[in-house]
Structure 1
Amino acid sequence: MTEQQESQVKPQPTPVVNGGKSRSGTLLGGVAILLALGLTGSLYLHGHKSAVAQQGELDQLKLQLAGAIAKMDQSNSKESEQLAAFGKQQQLLQEELKDLQSRVLDLNDKRPNDWMLAEAEYLVRMAGRKLWLEHDLISAITLLGNADERIKALNDPSLMPIRKALAADIAQLKGMPRIDREGLTLKLAALSDQIELLPLSTVNMPEAKIEPDQAVSTNPDEWQSNLKKNWLKFTENFITIRRRDGGVEALLSPQQEIFLRENLKTKLLQAQFAVYREQQALYDDSLEKAQRWLTQYFDTDNSATHYMQTELDKLKGEQIQFDYPDRFKTQAMLEEVLNERLQRILASN
């Protein structure tokens, strides 16, 4: 066989086009696939872990929610029990109230006059407060009279001793002297307003001594005396001399005059306070000092000063302090009757 024939029989190699590039592309593709698989696996693993954690948190929240719901159920059950207990207590109270109302109505039906008797006892106590605390004699007598009207309306013969004692208390108060406090204080206030108009006393000069007779004697032996008398008559035309015995009181200064009038007003104001407080000693002392200052410092011959002195004399004769009874006889008797009837009612029930 010839060389030409051998060359024709021998298989020819396949030509390779860009052989290096195809091989590198294959490698890159494999690497990319591996990376994608790794990334996918890691993402899956991370997601699985996150899902597991979230599921744990969700389970924990479910447990907490279940505990809270259980606690709420317990509290609601306790509140329901408390409401039920309160309802029972309220029902018991309503029943007791109805029972009490029925008992009160029963007492009213049995002893309707006891309320009027208690009202009379209250009026007697109020009369005592008016008398001992405020020294209001007229109001005390009026309240005792109202109490007597309440007892009279009861028409109960067993209460006649109480009415008798009540009449004795009223008679005792009516027999006491009454004082017009408002009238006395108004008079003292009017006198105080007149103090600024009172004139002060002027300088009191002692009376001049009476000089002996200056007539000239006809006896020649008395020539010296006649000479002296003639000399005195001659000097009288120029200088007049009168002798006076006693001291001359000086006039008050303007400031002293202001103090005097204000002190006099203060004494009259003290007398007004003493009238309402029933302080007889303070009342008499204030008026006495006012009178003494009027006589000592003011013109007693003046009509205004004379009028004030006269009015102060009248006011000094007023009695402003009295001895009131310590307790009414009626009050103890009413308290005894009310306690007796109350014990009787309680015993019957």
Structure 2
Amino acid sequence: MTQEEKQASVAGETAPGHAQPVQHKKASGRGGVVLGGIAIALTLGLTGWIYLHGHQQGNAQQAEIAALKSQLAGAIDSIGTLKQAQSQDLAGWQTGQKQLQEEMQSLQARVLDLNEKRPNDWLLAESEYLVRMAGRKLWLEHDLVSAVTLLANADERIKALNDPSLLPLRKALAEDIAKLKALPTLDREGLTLKLAALSDQIDLLPMNAVAMPEAIAPADQQVSGQLDDWQNNLKKNWVNFTENFITIRRRDGAVEALLSPQQEIYLRENLKTKLLQAQLSVYREQQDLYADSLDKAQRWVKQYFNQDDSATRYVLGELAKLKDEQVKFDYPERFQTQAILEQVLNDRLQRILAGH
């Protein structure tokens, strides 16, 4: 029994005298039941539709979420792979950098070790430089004194090493120095200064005067007292008579003509040129040209200048002394020290590079 029927029954019992209202109430209760059923049915249908629609949307959302999750997982995997590759590249780069740093540190340590263990090897390099400079002084400038000094300085540096293995090198140095000291020395600067001083004296030399040959002494014109000598006496009287009108003196030999002023200037300048040529020959070590220049200068002074003058005699004496000077020498073509020193340096360099 429904709630409405119960209510109608209760109402009938309390009001028995009203029958018509009771029937109307029963009809109304049946219509409410129908409406309630429809409402329930609609509610259930709507609920089912809502549930079905919600279920379908949930399934779609679940599928979309699953797809998104799959994409996200793929992206995460890609990121992981990329990170792994980057990590490997970074690890390789860091490993390479670490190796380079280790090699640099190793090289620095070797350099410091070599500097500490063999600081005197620089003296060998200085000695080799001094030997090369000695060769340049000798062969290019012909400076024998400077070459000997440079070789002696190189020997002092090798001596400071206090290395018994370098005794052959010092022996070669001593032999090279002895050879150079055995060569004749020449003061080139002093020699050229002497030649320059003689050149300044050329303008002061007096020229030769006209050389007149001595006159022949006249014969004795005294008349003798002998009668048999009458012919000679007559001749003598004739000569004595004619001497008051004409005087004739006979001279034998040619008369040297004086040079003109222009020729005298040329002569003096040519003499100066010969002396300047001799100076250049000293520095160039041209022995033949040196001797020829002084020989011509000496010959011209004797021929054209007054031999009785003290300045002329001084110039001739100096030219004779300078002409005997030796200006050319035979130098050694190479120092034997050079080859030995180069070999020592190469050996030590190889040991350094090998790390010993």
| Same-fold call, TM cutoff 0.5 | yes
Change (3 A) 1:221 1:168: same
- Alignment of 1:177 onto 2:188: no
| Distance in 2 (alpha carbons) for counterparts of 1:339 and 1:174 | 30
Runs of at least 5 residues in structure 2 that lack an aligned partner in the other structure? 1-95
- Alignment of 1:114 onto 2:121: yes
| Distance in 2 (alpha carbons) for counterparts of 1:309 and 1:90 | 85
Change (3 A) 1:99 1:244: farther
- Alignment of 1:250 onto 2:250: no
Q: What is the deviation of 1:237?
A: 4.1
Change (3 A) 1:98 1:305: farther
Question: Which amino acid is the alignment partner of residue 218 of structure 1?
Answer: G
Deviates more, 1:145-154 or 1:92-101: 92-101
| Distance in 2 (alpha carbons) for counterparts of 1:236 and 1:318 | 61
Change (3 A) 1:162 1:219: same
Change (3 A) 1:253 1:96: farther
2:318 pairs, out of 308, 311, 314, with 311
Change (3 A) 1:240 1:328: same
- Alignment of 1:342 onto 2:349: yes
Q: What is the deviation of 1:102?
A: 3.7
- Alignment of 1:150 onto 2:157: yes
Change (3 A) 1:239 1:105: farther
Q: What is the deviation of 1:306?
A: 0.9
Q: How does 1:120-199 map to 2 (within 5 A)?
A: 120-199=127-206
Change (3 A) 1:179 1:219: same
Change (3 A) 1:327 1:250: same
SS in 1 for 2:329: coil
1:295 pairs, out of 289, 302, 308, with 302
Instruction: Provide Cα deviations, 1:223-280, integer angstroms capped at 9, x if missing partner.
Output: 2321221222233344432211222121111110110010011111111111111111
Change (3 A) 1:94 1:232: farther
Q: How does 1:277-292 map to 2 (within 5 A)?
A: 277-292=284-299
Question: Which amino acid is the alignment partner of residue 223 of structure 1?
Answer: W
Larger Rg: 2
Deviates more, 1:207-216 or 1:326-335: 207-216
Instruction: Provide Cα deviations, 1:21-56, integer angstroms capped at 9, x if missing partner.
Output: xxxxxxxxxxxxxxxxxxxxxxxxxxxxxxxxxxxx
1:275 pairs, out of 269, 277, 282, with 282
Change (3 A) 1:98 1:287: farther
Change (3 A) 1:348 1:177: same
| Structure 1 partner of 2:232 | 225
Question: Which amino acid is the alignment partner of residue 151 of structure 2?
Answer: L
SS in 1 for 2:206: coil
Question: Which amino acid is the alignment partner of residue 165 of structure 1?
Answer: A
| Distance in 1 (alpha carbons) for counterparts of 2:153 and 2:202 | 46
| Distance in 1 (alpha carbons) for counterparts of 2:257 and 2:172 | 67
Q: Normalising to structure 2: TM-score of the pair?
A: 0.68
Q: What is the deviation of 1:201?
A: 0.4
Q: How does 1:208-223 map to 2 (within 5 A)?
A: 208-223=215-230
Q: What is the deviation of 1:95?
A: 8.0
Q: What is the deviation of 1:107?
A: 2.4
| Distance in 1 (alpha carbons) for counterparts of 2:282 and 2:252 | 46
| Distance in 1 (alpha carbons) for counterparts of 2:102 and 2:307 | 86
Q: What is the deviation of 1:194?
A: 1.1
Change (3 A) 1:103 1:285: same
Q: Normalising to structure 1: TM-score of the pair?
A: 0.69
Question: Which amino acid is the alignment partner of residue 243 of structure 1?
Answer: R
CA RMSD of aligned residues (A): 2.3
Q: What is the deviation of 1:99?
A: 5.4
| Distance in 1 (alpha carbons) for counterparts of 2:254 and 2:210 | 10
Deviates more, 1:137-146 or 1:210-219: 210-219
| Distance in 2 (alpha carbons) for counterparts of 1:306 and 1:226 | 52
| Distance in 2 (alpha carbons) for counterparts of 1:217 and 1:92 | 139
SS in 1 for 2:341: helix
SS in 2 for 1:257: helix
Q: What is the deviation of 1:115?
A: 1.6
Instruction: Provide Cα deviations, 1:61-81, integer angstroms capped at 9, x if missing partner.
Output: xxxxxxxxxxxxxxxxxxxxx
| Distance in 2 (alpha carbons) for counterparts of 1:306 and 1:241 | 38
- Contact 2:210–2:255 at 8 Å: present in 1 too? yes
| Distance in 2 (alpha carbons) for counterparts of 1:94 and 1:289 | 79
Runs of at least 5 residues in structure 1 that lack an aligned partner in the other structure? 1-88
Question: Which amino acid is the alignment partner of residue 150 of structure 2?
Answer: L
